[in-house]
Amino acid sequence: MRHYLFLILFLLTGCHSDPQPEPIQYSVPTEVEPYIQSFRKEAKKRNSQVSTDNLIVTFGSAVSEDICGECLLDNGKTPRITLNSDAFCWQQASQQARECLVFHELGHCLLKRAHKTDKYPNGAYVSLMNPNDVAIYAACLYPIGGDECNKRPRRDYYIDELFDANTPTPVWGK
């Protein structure tokens, strides 16, 4: 009888091979929430079944000072985004630049997109998922150069490509 008790006790306590996933958590700073809402809206427009219900966003220090954001995605854990709140990355950034940054990090955390460094012949990045210019569809801080500086008309393309990497090349990219 003791052997059966030992066997039952062993089976109940000794065979946990899969760690329990964290419970669903949602914590986003008030000033970031409009960009999360915009991401939801854009996903819905594109019939994307991505959920933002399990997400933590904080302001803090990224891996290095020249990085504006990072996604920490551990298997079974809540996706976590850390945004650098310094002047360049957030405080003095335009609304479009902030949206680009948040969408880029959501691309990593929720869409499982990696960085993509490809460029079109005109030098424009193919994807918002490029690691060098997350303000890719924002207007320049110092509007010199007319149309070359104002990239806001490219927003729809970059968001289409964010949700579908097979989005065709836009006219301005040829």
For residue 76, the domain's CATH number is 3.40.390
Determine, yes or no, domain membership for 153: yes
The pLDDT assigned to 5 comes to 41
Distance separating alpha carbons of residues 99 and 35, to the nearest angstrom: 6
Query: Residue-wise over 112-148: b if at least 16 C-beta within 10 A, else e?
Result: ebeebeeeeeeebbbbbbbeeebbbbbeeeeeeeeee
Token code pair at residue 21: 């996933």
CA distances from 94 to 27, 109, 138 (A): 23, 23, 7
pTM for the full model?
A: 0.83
Q: Phi and psi dihedrals of 147, rounded to 5?
A: -65, -30
Q: Which residues contact 163 (CB under 8 A, 6 or more apart)?
A: 42, 43, 46, 48, 50, 111
Query: For 45-80, how does the pLDDT look when each residue is reduced to its tens digit (9 = 90+)?
Result: 999 999 999 999 999 876 567 789 999 988 878 999
Determine, yes or no, domain membership for 4: no
Number of domains in the chain: 1
Query: For 95-119, how does the pLDDT look when each residue is reduced to its tens digit (9 = 90+)?
Result: 999 999 999 999 999 999 999 999 9
Q: Which range of residues forms the domain containing residue 87?
A: 23-166
